[in-house]
């Protein structure tokens, strides 16, 4: 999430990629509220795929679960901008 003056500039994507840079995990997952289809579409544009839905706690809402590979061969970053 970025402040209104920087929305649509690609800054959120650059920040997101920087946070993932150098990570050694093979993949990253995130949860999106289904009531926010624009957010889901944004993450899909960043290489995430909808892999299912989950309710992380009994009193939590059901979230859209999204996955993205970070490493293809253990060393090269996938989806780097």
Domain ranges, ordered by start, for the chain: 4-69
Q: What is the pLDDT of residue 42?
A: 94
Q: What is the pLDDT of residue 58?
A: 96
The answer to whether 63 and 56 are in contact (CB under 8 A) is: yes
Strands 63-69 and 49-54: antiparallel
CATH 3.30.565.10 corresponds to the domain 4-69: no
Which is more confidently placed, 5 or 79?
Answer: 5
pTM, full prediction: 0.79
User: pLDDT tens for residues 24-80?
Assistant: 999 999 999 999 999 999 999 999 999 999 999 999 999 999 999 997 655 444 444
d(C-alpha 2, C-alpha 39), whole Å: 13
Q: How many CA atoms does the CB half-sphere of 33 hold within 13 Å? A: 4
Closest CA to 25 of 66, 56, 54, 67: 67
């Amino acid at each position: 999430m970025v402040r209104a003056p920087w929305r649509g500039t690609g800054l959120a994507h650059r920040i997101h990629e920087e946070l993932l840079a150098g990570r050694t995990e093979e993949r990253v997952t995130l949860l999106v509220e289904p009531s926010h289809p624009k957010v889901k579409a944004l993450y899909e544009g960043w290489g995430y795929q909808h892999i299912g839905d989950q309710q992380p706690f009994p009193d939590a809402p059901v979230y859209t679960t999204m996955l993205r590979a970070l490493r293809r061969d253990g060393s090269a970053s996938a989806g780097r901008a």
